[in-house]
Amino acid sequence: MNLHDRIYVAGHKGLVGSAILRALEAQGYNNLICRTRSELDLRDRGQVSRFFEQNAIDYVFLAAAKVGGIAANNDYPADFIRDNLLIQTNVIDAAYRANVTKLMFLGSTCIYPKLAPQPLKEEYLLSGDLEPTNKPYAIAKIAGINMCQSYNRQHGTSFISVMPTNMYGPNDNFDLQTSHVLPALLRKFHEAKELGAPTVEVWGSGTPKREFLHADDLAEACIFLMKHYEDSEIVNVGVGEDISIKELAEMIKTIVGYEGEIVFNASIPDGTPRKLVDVSKINGLGWQAQISLETGLRSVYEAFQKEYLIKQ
């Protein structure tokens, strides 16, 4: 991947896509191609085909997807499976037809079986039942991975798939109805502090354990793999250590400076009990995460406060 190659970042406004775009710019790549949702609807096959025909793309980072937390997945299951199947099918097929040099598909570790052994190894995919709360999303993502592998086998393409763990960072979604746990907690604790609320409710029991990877670390990993990885088999991207939701809530409480109490609502489903990825494969290739959770949280909270103040 040369500095002048035409690189398309699909989903460049989102958490992952924007981080990949920043990292590419920082490394000197100067022929970056992006389109907003209003400019290019990736669910529309005709629009996607014309875009690839007209732009002579060399490399694709497919970070565009419909994503959300437990509440969003539970409330809009049809939207999650439909939109993700359409987006990835259109982009992967158009990339093949346009003779793109290489494509990277962004999966997610939440598509591993609910009760898979920990830490999660790449070979555990499809080895058991999925977590019911995000099954439509998981099925769509699994289809995308298999599609990349199938195109490689039948058409000789170079399409690779990565499996990031739970993400956080700049440009995250802080909507309490659709966000993931970390940004939701940041907003909850911030607003409770501002309002002087005596308690903050945290969904679930607090016992599930999660791993959190800063989007800037993922972006570096994606560029590294685009340059150095050619295999059809998936690659986990994570930090290799996890934390309970209770511990996360307490860390965020400290960073925000909230002085009230934390109340856990055990009537809300916890989801997968634990989700820690085995990162020995990517570490063996020569990459490992650099940003600690506390450092990353502090930087994200600083950015959130600025954005929050702007919207007030």
3-state helix, strand, coil in the chain (%, to 5): 45, 15, 40
How far apart (Å, rounded) are the C-alpha atoms in residues 111 and 128?
A: 11
Tell whether the model's pLDDT for residue 264 goes beyond 60.
Answer: yes
36 falls within a domain: yes
What is the rounded average pLDDT of the residues 40-52? 98
pLDDT in tens, 138-155: 999 999 999 999 999 999
Q: Which residues are annotated as a binding site for substrate?
A: 188, 203, 210, 270
Share of the chain above pLDDT 90, in %: 84
pLDDT in tens, 151-202: 999 999 999 999 999 999 988 888 777 677 899 899 999 999 999 999 999 9
Q: Which CATH number belongs to the domain containing residue 93 in this structure?
A: 3.40.50.720
Return the pLDDT at 180: 79
What is the rounded average pLDDT of the residues 241-256? 96
Return the pLDDT at 75: 86
224 falls within a domain: yes
Tell whether the model's pLDDT for residue 85 goes beyond 60.
Answer: yes
How far apart (Å, rounded) are the C-alpha atoms in residues 109 and 130?
A: 11
Banded pLDDT at 274 (limits 50, 70, 90): confident
For the beta carbon of residue 266, count every other beta carbon within 10 angstroms. Answer: 11
32 falls within a domain: yes
Return the pLDDT at 281: 98
205 falls within a domain: no
Banded pLDDT at 311 (limits 50, 70, 90): low
Return mean pLDDT, the chain. 94
309 falls within a domain: no
Q: Which residues are annotated as a binding site for NADP(+)?
A: 11-17, 106-109, 141, 180
230 falls within a domain: yes
Banded pLDDT at 276 (limits 50, 70, 90): very high
Task: Please name which of 31, 33, 32, 26 lies closest in space to residue 4, comparing C-alpha atoms.
Answer: 31
Tell whether the model's pLDDT for residue 312 goes beyond 60.
Answer: no
Rounded alpha-carbon distances, angstroms, from residue 78 to 84, 135, 151: 10, 11, 26
What is the rounded average pLDDT of the residues 37-63? 98
What is the rounded average pLDDT of the residues 112-127? 94
Tell whether the model's pLDDT for residue 36 goes beyond 70.
Answer: yes
93 falls within a domain: yes
112, 137, 168, 229: the active-site residue: 137
Return the pLDDT at 175: 78
How far apart (Å, rounded) are the C-alpha atoms in residues 164 and 64?
A: 14
Q: Which domain holds residue 79?
A: 7-170+211-240+275-291
**Residue 112 annotated to the active site:** no
How far apart (Å, rounded) are the C-alpha atoms in residues 105 and 160?
A: 6
Banded pLDDT at 308 (limits 50, 70, 90): low
For the beta carbon of residue 63, count every other beta carbon within 10 angstroms. Answer: 26
Tell whether the model's pLDDT for residue 262 goes beyond 90.
Answer: yes
154: exposed, middle or buried (Cβ count in 10 Å: 0-12, 13-18, 19+): exposed
The pair of structure tokens assigned to 256 is: 């925000």
The structural domain count of the chain equals: 1
Rounded alpha-carbon distances, angstroms, from residue 131 to 146, 236, 271, 296: 19, 18, 7, 28
Give the SS3 label for residue 311. helix
Tell whether the model's pLDDT for residue 107 goes beyond 70.
Answer: yes
pLDDT in tens, 67-82: 877 777 888 899 999 9
252 falls within a domain: no
Please tell me the pTM assigned to this model: 0.92
